A and B are shown apart, each in its own frame.
Chain A
Amino acid sequence: GAVVSQHPSRVICKSGTSVKIECRSLDFQATTMFWYRQFPKQSLMLMATSNEGSKATYEQGVEKDKFLINHASLTLSTLTVTSAHPEDSSFYICSALGELADNEQFFGPGTRLTVL
């Protein structure tokens, strides 16, 4: 099956710094990737839709200047949390839309971000 990786798996940073999270489709090309955020004991909430070669589409309430998304290639999307604060601490998960027309999405293993 299709594999999606994320790097890093967990990161701890100081308040005010920026953190970049990578999402890669390892054995298929993904024109569309999605970024989700999950707080403890809650569900996955969609943050943005990332399309290769174009600007990301952000969900209501998600600041595009704070969560920078770049989808520069068909196998890589990055999410940069700028000027991170403790309330940004969360589990960030990406998914990639498969190449087939069946709409199947493949999820990465997630990145645990802790902002001190």
Chain B
Amino acid sequence: GESVGLHLPTLSVQEGDNSIINCAYSNSASDYFIWYKQESGKGPQFIIDIRSNMDKRQGQRVTVLLNKTVKHLSLQIAATQPGDSAVYFCAENMSQAGTALIFGKGTTLSVSS
């Protein structure tokens, strides 16, 4: 189902700040979650993923946290840069079924220098 709640449609930060983008997912059977970055006029770009057997995963400057109890997903971006300005979507699916991803509503991140 479509993600609802616990997200801000827009987030404005200063360059160098840490950003936190939240997402609530609806399907308790989902076991695979991904964050995508989408720049204007382009397709989604993979940032980081996490499976339901984990609650935290770190990448380069990014961290994803998963709270299955409240069905909440967050993306933390450290030392946010102007190039991070984009729309960020969380997506979910049931990996075993090979099904399509269900996308959340998205948060527009604006980074000012």
Residues of A with Cβ closer than 8 Å to B? 6, 32, 34, 36, 42-46, 49, 91, 93, 95, 97, 102-105, 107-110, 112
Contacts and interface: CB of A to CB of B under 8 A. Distances in A.
7 contacts: A43-B103, A43-B105, A44-B89, A46-B100, A103-B95, A103-B98, A105-B100
Kindly state the interface size class of chain B when it binds its partner: 20 to 34
B21 to A, nearest CB: 14
Main secondary structure of the interface of B (DSSP, over half): loop
B100 A107 contact: no
Contacts, number: 49
A44 B105 contact: no
Name, among B49, B101, B102, B104, the residue most crowded by chain A CB atoms within 10 Å (CB to CB). Answer: B101
Contact of A107 (B32, B43, B93, B95): B43
Nearest to A31: B98
Contacts of A32: 98
B59 interface: no
B106 A109 contact: no
B2 interface: yes
